[in-house]
Structure formats: structure tokens, C-alpha cells
Structure 1
Amino acid sequence: MPARKALIAVTSASASLFNGKETTGLFITEALHPFKALVAAGFEVDLASETGTYTPDWLSQQPDFLNGADLDMWNDTNSDFRKKLDNMPKASELDGSQYGLFFASAGHAALIDYPKAKALQEIAEQVWANGGVVASVCHGGAIFSDILDRATGEPIVKGKKVTGFTTEAEYTMKIMPELRGWGSEMMDEVATRLGATYERSDGIWDDYHVVDGRLVTGQNPASAASTAKAAIEVFDKL
């Protein structure tokens, strides 16, 4: 049985967005909601990024996305979440064999560093190889670009159903030209390239996730909690 210990991956990248007016980085609730769900389920939870650093995403701090108890936890630098986040190690400093569940949080900035985040990818590979659960939400699927099944040498998502932030939503937010300027693939494009089947809900902001074996993926920020809870359910059946 894999260890009841989880790693939440965090993007270390930051970039200007919305015509240079705002900054993207970690979408806060995409790490906070999984953190809360995993802790409530009795997991020991660590957070890590490729560099050990993070930048909070501007949009994720707006009242529509961050409010109530979540906002209180974010503002309290002594909360368990903030202490873990503000003092997280580099992924390369961790032993991937310790973890039974890997969860890739995101924010648009994940499109920049996740595809080449070798240390985070190595931890996810180890979790998968040990029979654990690998999950992502929103743009977290960018990390699948180079996560392989060590038994087959193929991408762990090959032949599986996945979801992630929709290309429609990128156009709705009017940021597609900027994302293309980064040279980024969209989530449906990543899935197709890796031999996975991309699925989505009808609404771009619906709470929606997909479970395919030990792989669990969520579509958007609204899906972070349900994706984490689904990943926990899969883990508990291992």
C-alpha cells in the first residue's frame, strides 16, 4: 500500500498576463482546496515547486475566487497552508518514494515551467511506479508532458481519459495570443499529443473531473476540491 502522504506540486513560474497588466503564478485555491481535502482525509501533505519558490496569481486573489475561510487561511501567514507554501523545498530535495499521491496544482504560469519540471515529474513517475495516484487540475496537466510509466516507457496518460482547462475558456478570457507567445500548448493539445482522450464539461466554469484508473484530472479552479476528493477515493481503494 502506498504511503498516506501527498505532494502538491506548485508552479514556480510567473509571467505578465492580460496585456501585461497582471501577473500569473500559482492559482491559490488550486493548491489550498486540495490541501484542505487531503489533510481532512488524514494525509500528511507537503508542497513543493521546481525552484522552491512561487508567485501568487493575481486573478486567484480576487473575491470571486478567494473569499471566506479560504481568504482567512491565505491571509494568515501562520496557517498550516501558508507555512508549508512559504517554506516549501525544491522538488529535487524530496524523496518521491515517500508519497502515495501526487497532485499538480496550477495557474496559467504552469504552462511555462511544468513541461520541463524534471524534479516534479520524477516524483510523479515514482508515485505512479509505486502504484499511487497521480492527479492534476486546470493547467496542471502541462506536467504530463514528460511523465512516463516506467514499466512501458510510455506517457502515463496514453490511452486514458483526461480533462483540463478548456481552450474555449482561454479565448473567453482573451489571453490566447499571450499564451501562444509563450509557446504553450493548450490542455486538449497536450492530451492529444500524448495519446490521451480529452474530455470537458459543457460549461467552461463547471465543477468537472475525470477519473481513469489511478489518474484523476480536473477542469478548472472550481474543480480543485472535487478532483482532490476523487483522488482520495481512488487512493482509499488501492
Structure 2
Amino acid sequence: MPLPKKAAIIITSYNGPLYPDGMNTGAFLSEVYDPFKAYTDAGFEVDIVSETGKFGWDEHSLSPAFAPQEMIEASKNPENAFAKALANIKKASATTASDYGLVNVAGGHGTVFDFVGKAPGDAALAGKVYDNGGLVVAVCHGPCLLPDVVDKDGNHIVKGKQVTGFPDSGEIVMGLVETLDKGNLAYTERVLKAAGANYLEAAPPFDSKVVVDGRLVTGANPASATPAAETAIKLFGEL
């Protein structure tokens, strides 16, 4: 039976302080919008999902450096398909895994607060889609969720796999090491290595990098969001 041509984009529910300038973190706009556009342009239906059914944007991700005006407008225009999906965000535990052939886990530093051991609904959805023969895609800080994603036999899908994700070197460049350490927050690179993954670093840290291992696709940073989605679309067509 063919997989449903429908994707779930999983985003963080956390929206609160992180940055030294006082701005909040949360879901990173381009890492949600870019895959949404890639999938819908390829004919997928797309739902946006979070652990609690709520979300907020990383305020840095709304700056012109990361979000062109059309992206901002798409997130706010109630007639736009992207804004409609955001307005109808689903709680992970209320979804049905068999509805989806693909899960795309987006990043933003909000994930370091709620993806590591605190998002069982998100992890269960990704694991069940994977069990059903679907794809799991995770980008930037989104791979923080992967160590909690297991298959029906209890195997961690990331163990022994080649993956990427936001590197420690990127946290250094962003000046967030002290904040992460003080808050005992997750580093994407470290949680992947601790889970037994073969981590491949993007160097420089903000250059696009996509790694494929079977039905697991990972991207290293915001620049990797569209390439990771495009890679997943191609792989989906080969399943």
C-alpha cells in the first residue's frame, strides 16, 4: 500500500527567553516555512504539529537576515496556506501516524528546552511514521528529538546512523555556550553522539549540509532546510 503523500512538520512548543539580548527563542520561521513550501509545491498535504498544540517564533528568525518579507507575510496572511496550517496546528498526541508518509522536524533553539526527553508525542509520531516505512527528516536543532525516536521493537532509529545537526561550533559563533551550560540545555551535536549516531559536522557551521542514511534525512542549519526537504521528496518518490 503506498504511503500517504502527506507530511507532518513538527515544531517546538517552547517560546521563551534564551538570547543575551533578551529576545525569545522558539520555532525558527524559515525552518518551518521552507519545508512547508517545498512539500506543498511537490503536491504534499502538510500539517504543522507540536507537543502541546502551541508554538511561538524565535524572534531572531523574524529578522530580515533570515526571513524575507514574503515569508513574514505568508505567516500572517489568513488566506495563505502556510498561515492556515499554523492556525490549525495539531497536538502531537491527537495525530494519527498512518495519515503521514513523512515527518519533518524543524529547529530553532526552542528545541533544546523541550525536545530532549520532554516531547513523547512528537517522538512517538516520528517513530510510528518510520515504522510504517515513511521518512523522518530533522534539521538544525530539530535532531535533538531523534534520540527519543524508537521503532516498534524499541530500537533507537538514530543509533549507528550517519546524521548531522547544528554543531557545537555554531553555538560558539552565536555566543550561546555560557547560556546553554548555565541552563543545562542540550547541544544538538552532543545528544546525537551520546545516542550512538555517527555525527557529521557542517564546517563552516552555517554552510548547507544534508546527510541521508536510509529513511533518515538530516540537515545541519537553516540553510539546509530546503535542500533536506527536496532530498526527502526525491526519496519519497523512490519508496
- Same fold by TM-score greater than 0.5: yes
2:194 corresponds in structure 1 to: 193
Q: Provide the secondary structure at the position in 1 that maps to 2:3.
A: coil
Contact 1:30–1:224, Cα closer than 8 Å, also in 2: yes
2:141 corresponds in structure 1 to: 139
Task: Supply the distance in 2 between the matched residues of 1:232 and 1:199 (Cα, whole angstroms).
Answer: 22
Map 1:1-238 onto structure 2 (within 5 A). 1-19=2-20, 21-115=22-116, 116-151=118-153, 153-238=154-239
Compute the displacement of 1:77 (Å): 3.3
Identity of aligned residues (%): 39
Task: Supply the distance in 1 between the matched residues of 2:21 and 2:115 (Cα, whole angstroms).
Answer: 21
Task: Supply the distance in 2 between the matched residues of 1:140 and 1:119 (Cα, whole angstroms).
Answer: 15
Contact 1:104–1:137, Cα closer than 8 Å, also in 2: yes
2:145 counterpart letter in structure 1: I
Task: Supply the distance in 2 between the matched residues of 1:9 and 1:143 (Cα, whole angstroms).
Answer: 10
Q: Provide the secondary structure at the position in 2 that maps to 1:207.
A: coil
Contact 2:128–2:151, Cα closer than 8 Å, also in 1: no
Contact 2:31–2:106, Cα closer than 8 Å, also in 1: yes
In structure 2, stretches of 5+ residues that fail to align are none
CA RMSD of aligned residues (A): 1.2
In structure 1, stretches of 5+ residues that fail to align are none
Task: Supply the distance in 2 between the matched residues of 1:113 and 1:78 (Cα, whole angstroms).
Answer: 31
Task: Supply the distance in 1 between the matched residues of 2:235 and 2:81 (Cα, whole angstroms).
Answer: 25
CA deviation profile, 1:29-81 (whole Å, cap 9, x unmatched): 10100000000111111011111111111110000100143233123233111
Contact 1:112–1:182, Cα closer than 8 Å, also in 2: no
Contact 2:144–2:192, Cα closer than 8 Å, also in 1: no
Compute the displacement of 1:97 (Å): 1.5
Which shows bigger deviation, 86-95 or 11-20? 11-20
TM-score normalised by structure 2 residue count: 0.95
Runs of 4+ with deviation above 3 angstroms: none
Compute the displacement of 1:203 (Å): 1.2
The alignment covers a number of residue pairs equal to 237
Task: Supply the distance in 1 between the matched residues of 2:167 and 2:121 (Cα, whole angstroms).
Answer: 27
1:232 counterpart letter in structure 2: I
Q: Provide the secondary structure at the position in 1 that maps to 2:39.
A: helix
Contact 1:97–1:123, Cα closer than 8 Å, also in 2: no
Compute the displacement of 1:83 (Å): 1.4
Q: Provide the secondary structure at the position in 1 that maps to 2:171.
A: helix
Q: Provide the secondary structure at the position in 2 that maps to 1:124.
A: helix
Compute the displacement of 1:177 (Å): 1.6
TM-score normalised by structure 1 residue count: 0.96
Compute the displacement of 1:106 (Å): 1.5
Contact 1:10–1:54, Cα closer than 8 Å, also in 2: yes
